[in-house]
């Protein structure tokens, strides 16, 4: 068998293969000979059908089968002989299959790149750490009290912290704009949920007052047509409410399953929950930091086949998410897979990088950690035992969990071998939700 390899791109290879005619002839002859012993043709005794008769009836079909199988087996031989690692299925072209002549064809495909990573001891990662403080717990209790607040109508002018009931109409260049109007809207003064200056402009107003607020949309406003525009809001105050927070007593604590009525127990339970939340968030954030840094430090030539497949998968995942939200199918159909190219390139690059780290350092997913993650997922369902069994009966689903755990193993390994600086963060900084903002 003759083999030649041509580099037609950074990762594209064109393999030319020629299989001797005698190899095809021998295989065809052998199969036809076997058919003479097994085939049944009227007028001949079983096992006594002449070779020429079998050849006349089955020769063309047998040759097609032999040629098809030889293309596959010879390409496999060629790939192994040349030590190539295809990243996708080959494109077969230039097939020459003439009776009595050598079988010839070309196969074009991309190969996996050689991955040479930047040494981790030359990299520095910033690892976030966080401890839940007594102040964090106190602030969280204030948030929980605020969530259970009641409103009391007052006759005095509104002040910071009050909840005002308002009607408002917004105008830009004298024209009303979408989303700029509401009736009986309750707004907490100081919550910073409205345009800068809106809430401040209502401090000192009383029920029945009408006022006009002249404000400006910020340059980075999420609606492009309103960015930087001068706006006018006509506001009517329907009522002013003072917020009344519940007392932290036995009844309040019972809502959080604290039955002994002790604030110390309540604080302990809140701290335990906050610590669990922040631990999970730290894991996610540090993982992203490490993976992003490794990706940025290692530029790899990527097989377009893998990028295209990853982009289509990302598009599919996005579409499924939109469907769950009830988005119109026409909007989904208009999506172009190329819009996901950047995401796909990063995903493929990280897969190749992580695979190289895992292989070279013999890293493995701890079955106990895999089990923990599956149990954590299952705990969110009513029949957790059935979900657990479902994962462990589907090797593909279990492999997805193992892949996530392996990523965590790689991150831990990277942090152990790189230069690491620690950044102390507050609970709110890590959660990024203002969870303890009062």
- 23, two tokens: 């190899």
Q: Note the pLDDT tens digit of each residue in 25-37.
A: 999 999 999 988 8
Can you tell me the distance from the alpha carbon of 209 to that of 344, in angstroms, rounded to the nearest whole number? 55
pLDDT at residue 117 in the model:
92
Please name which of 313, 249, 244, 294 lies closest in space to residue 115, comparing C-alpha atoms: 294
Give all domains of the chain, ordered by start, each with its CATH number: 2-110 (3.30.70.1050), 150-244 (3.10.50.40), 252-431 (1.10.3120)
- Determine the Cα–Cα distance for residues 204 and 213; give it in Å rounded to an integer: 14
Residues 6+ apart with CB under 8 A from 387: 377, 378, 381
103 has which bridge partners?
19
Render the burial of 56-76: b for 16+ CB within 10 Å, e for the rest. eebbeebbeebbeebbeebbe
Q: How far apart are CA 275 and CA 415, in angstroms?
A: 22
For residue 335, what pLDDT is reported?
63
Q: Can you give the pLDDT at residue 179?
A: 87
- Pair 172, 279: CB distance under 8 Å: no
Contact 84, 111 (CB under 8 A): yes
Residue-level pLDDT at 155? 94
pLDDT above 90 coverage of the chain, percent: 80
| 226-268 per-position pLDDT tens digit | 999 999 999 999 999 999 999 999 999 999 999 999 999 999 9
Q: Are strands 419-424 and 175-188 parallel, antiparallel or unpaired?
A: unpaired
Residues of the chain where predicted confidence (pLDDT) is lower than 70: 327-337, 432-438
The model's pTM = 0.73
The total of other beta-carbon atoms located within 10 Å of residue 291's CB is 18
Neighbours of 417 (CB within 10 A): 14
């Amino acid at each position: 068998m003759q083999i030649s390899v041509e580099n037609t791109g950074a990762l594209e290879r064109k393999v030319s293969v020629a299989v001797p005619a005698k190899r095809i002839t021998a295989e065809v002859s052998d199969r036809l000979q076997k058919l003479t012993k097994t085939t049944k043709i009227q007028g001949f005794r079983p096992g006594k059908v002449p070779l020429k008769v079998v050849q006349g009836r089955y020769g063309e079909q047998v040759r097609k089968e032999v040629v098809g199988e030889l293309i596959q087996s010879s390409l496999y031989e060629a790939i192994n002989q040349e030590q190539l690692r295809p990243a996708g299925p080959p494109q077969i072209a230039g097939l020459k299959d003439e009776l009595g002549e050598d079988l010839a064809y070309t196969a074009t495909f991309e190969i996996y790149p050689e991955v040479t990573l930047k040494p981790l001891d030359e990299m520095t990662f910033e690892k976030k750490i966080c401890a839940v403080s007594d102040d964090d717990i106190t602030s969280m209790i204030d948030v929980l009290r605020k969530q259970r607040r009641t409103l009391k109508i007052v006759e005095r002018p509104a002040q910071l912290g009050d909840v005002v009931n308002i009607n408002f109409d917004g105008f830009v260049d004298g024209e009303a704009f979408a989303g700029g109007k509401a009736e009986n809207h309750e707004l907490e003064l100081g919550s910073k949920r409205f345009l800068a200056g809106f809430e401040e402009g209502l401090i000192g107003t009383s029920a029945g007052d009408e006022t006009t607020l002249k404000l400006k949309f910020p340059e980075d406003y999420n609606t492009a047509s309103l960015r930087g525009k001068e706006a006018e809001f006509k506001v009517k105050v329907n009522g002013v409410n003072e917020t009344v927070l519940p007392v932290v007593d036995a009844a309040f604590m019972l809502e959080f399953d604290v039955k002994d009525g002790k604030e110390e127990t309540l604080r302990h339970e809140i701290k335990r929950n906050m610590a669990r939340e922040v631990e999970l968030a730290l894991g996610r954030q540090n993982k992203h930091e490490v993976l992003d840094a490794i990706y940025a430090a290692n530029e790899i030539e990527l097989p377009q086949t893998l990028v295209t497949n990853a982009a289509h998968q990302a598009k599919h995942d996005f579409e499924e998410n939109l469907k769950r939200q009830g988005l119109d199918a026409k909007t989904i159909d208009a999506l172009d897979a190329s819009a996901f190219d950047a995401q796909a390139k990063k995903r493929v690059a990280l897969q190749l990088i992580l695979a190289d780290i895992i292989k070279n350092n013999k890293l493995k997913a701890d079955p106990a950690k895999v089990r923990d993650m599956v149990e954590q997922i299952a705990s969110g369902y009513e029949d957790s035992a059935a979900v657990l069994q479902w994962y462990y009966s589907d090797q593909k689903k279990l492999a997805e969990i193992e892949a996530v755990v392996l990523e965590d193993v790689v991150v831990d390994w990277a942090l152990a071998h790189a230069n690491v600086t620690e950044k102390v963060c507050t609970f709110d900084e890590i959660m990024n939700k203002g969870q303890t903002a009062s």
